[in-house]
Chain A
Amino acid sequence: MKYMLLIYDNAGTRELFSGPGGEALSEEIGALMAELTASGELAGGEALADPAQTRSIRPRGGAPVVTDGPLAEAKELFGGYLIVDCESIERATEIALRWPNARFAAMEVRPIMNAGGGQDI
């Protein structure tokens, strides 16, 4: 089963990685990535650039309208994701709990829909 681990930022979490403890955090991530690569569970992932560079698109009167910057009401902003292909949601959650960002801001583990497969119903 594939799961997406959604990593959120709040005010200040991005700076943690450039601050005094940033190198240790990056090393921690590097080690975890290496472990997931070696186990054959890592199936993808990206980090997003600063939210200031966001373009938001919202519907206004039935038509999409573009604005600069993230959606104003959001307190925690989506910052990046991992995709793991592993045995169970318990295992995916265990990985999320070890991801350093989980100590500072929200993360979510969500199953990814599959298009084929399935049994007779």
Chain B
Amino acid sequence: MTTPETPDIEGLLRQLGPQVLGALARRHGQFEACEDATQEALLAAAQRWPKQGIPDHPRGWLIAVATRRLIDEVRADSSRRAREDVTGEPGERYEPAPGEPQPPQHDDTLTLLFLCCHPALTPASQIALTLRAVGGLTTAEIASAFLVPETTMAQRISRAKQTIKADGMQFELPPPDQRAERLRAVCHVLYLIFTEGHTTTAGPNLQRVELAAEAIRLARMLHRLLPADGETTGLLALMLLTHARRCARAGPGTALIPLADQDRSLWQRQEIEQGLGLLEHALTTAAIGPYQIQAAIAAVHCEAPSAEQTDWPQIVALYTLLERIAPNPVFALNRVAAVAMANGPEAGLAALSMIENDERLAGHHRVEAVRAHMLELAGDRTGAAVAYRAAARLTTNLPERCYLEARAAGM
């Protein structure tokens, strides 16, 4: 036994949680029951370990306890077939006797991520299930992070589990020919969690789980499991390079400070260095992909001493490449904004006229915000004020609206 003052039991439990659930689900199927049993085992550990100390084999301890709970549950259900599945495997077999070597560290976290991000689930369910089953967050924590009632979030999780059951999804790695595509789905879910939590303010919502930090933790986990996958590395780098700027993004109250006006000394150098290192490694060892390019763009910003001294032609080139391999109107809009910085506002406005009628951008406030900024650079203050106001009306984000209104008033 380790001494009771051993730190960070919660961190250990959140790291082991997905491994325990993975081990159970691989052995027994029945994802929903395994998930419940794992939660109970984690709860038991959270209560016991601070007093009694961490067992020598914490993972084996958790698997043993969870397996016992699973068997109890199945017995209580008095489902004959399920009983045959598990009663031949007494939970005790997982618990190594003192002094015995630790069981092999078979990490099923990756399989678990693939299951939670299965394309048959809705994005909302993928996110909820990933945070619960892999992230180890409680339903209440996830609900509060997304500002929805706990019952709504509970329903999303239970619906996801029902879909898994009804579709007969197996707890196994996707076949090799589907793996790349399924991995992209996992990365996308982690990216969605990150952008949801990419908050401008850290203060007023102390109860809120920091989703951006959680997304980074999950991306690190994925990167550890698949260190050679360039896009996984690129995703982690993109998150770190973006997250590094968080302190400079928020002004007093709800004010939003745009990249150009941020105090760059507030950017977190350690996260930037880590992001740059990961990116360089991915770019030199793996096939290029959209996350790596987005991380490369973030890196150009992070390396620039000021907005004026930013290598804008490089950013234009990166956006052009990004659009080619991952066509997306928002990337096109970002390229336009970079063109204005590289070649002047007239060139930017001309580029905007080429894309503004794309129906996928209809009603998007960023079109007007980018136009406003270019008109301001061109000296057309009246036109800029009109466009800033239009953008303010179209955004649904409060800090952004305040920023755009203030900009319009300043013209």
Interface residues of A (CB under 8 A from B): 1-2, 37-44, 85, 87, 111-121
Total cross-chain contacts (CB, 8 A)? 81
In the complex, whether B196 has a CB less than 8 A from a CB of chain A is yes
Tell me if B259 and A121 are in contact (CB < 8 A). yes
Tell me if A117 and B254 are in contact (CB < 8 A). no
Residues in B whose Cβ lies below 8 Å from that of A44: 149
Given contacts A38-B155, A40-B159, contact A120 B398 (CB under 8 A): no
Q: Is the interface of A mostly helix, strand, loop or mixed?
A: loop
Please pick, from B122, B205, B403, the residue contacting A121 in the complex, using a CB distance under 8 A.
B403
Tell me if A117 and B155 are in contact (CB < 8 A). no
Tell me if B256 and A117 are in contact (CB < 8 A). no
0/1 interface trace, chain B 2-46, chain A, CB 8 Å (1 if under): 000000000000000000000000000000000000000000000
Tell me if A113 and B155 are in contact (CB < 8 A). no
Residues in A whose Cβ lies below 8 Å from that of B399: 115-116, 118
Apart from A116-B199, A116-B201, list 10 A-B contacts with CB within 8 A.
Answer: A38-B155, A41-B124, A43-B149, A87-B124, A112-B396, A114-B397, A115-B397, A117-B397, A118-B400, A119-B195
In the complex, whether B182 has a CB less than 8 A from a CB of chain A is no
Tell me if B152 and A42 are in contact (CB < 8 A). yes
CA distance A41 to B256 in the complex (A): 30
Q: Give the one of B152, B159, B400 with max A CB within 10 A.
A: B152
In the complex, whether B389 has a CB less than 8 A from a CB of chain A is no
CA distance A41 to B152 in the complex (A): 7
CA distance A39 to B151 in the complex (A): 11
Write 8 A-B pairs (CB below 8 A) sorted by A numbering: A40-B125, A40-B153, A40-B159, A115-B397, A117-B197, A118-B198, A120-B242, A120-B258
Residues in A whose Cβ lies below 8 Å from that of B200: 116-118
Residues in B whose Cβ lies below 8 Å from that of A38: 155, 159
CA distance A61 to B397 in the complex (A): 33
Q: Smallest CB–CB gap between B205 and chain A, Å?
A: 7
Please pick, from B148, B151, B159, B396, the residue contacting A111 in the complex, using a CB distance under 8 A.
B396
Q: Smallest CB–CB gap between A44 and chain B, Å?
A: 7
CA distance A39 to B122 in the complex (A): 9
Tell me if B153 and A121 are in contact (CB < 8 A). no
